[in-house]
Structure 1
Amino acid sequence: MKSSFPFKHKNYQLMLIGLAMIIAGFTIIGLDGEPHGFGFMGLTLGPIITLGGFMFQFYAIFHQSKN
């Protein structure tokens, strides 16, 4: 039976992980205690985690199962 979904179940799981990473990155940026987010969390840690989340999304989209 042919599935009507464009991705497999594993792809959707990986996409949810990537989405959680992106949300966590933006949350970390927002939690920075410095004015206007100019501290370590707002300028370094949050953007790195957000970028990692977007890169993980690309991996999730192009991931192919061995089956």
Structure 2
Amino acid sequence: MAKISGKALVLILLFSIIETVVLTYWLVLLGLPVSFSTTVGETAAIFLFIGLLIEHLLAGISNKV
């Protein structure tokens, strides 16, 4: 099984946090309520984080084959 290095994990986490802030701010600028925008931003960040982890693991596995 492929392992994720600490540097890669930090970069994925940092990217997910930045994406959450940007998406939430963008939705607020569109006039949506802050509570709704925050919920959407957090949900998107969770899916993004999980997707990036899976993508990184699959890339690590394919590089070892």
TM-score (norm 1): 0.48
Structure with greater Cα Rg:
1
- Which structure is richer in relative contact order (CA contacts within 8 A, separation 6 or more)? 2
TM-score (norm 2): 0.48
Which of the two has greater helix per residue?
A: 2
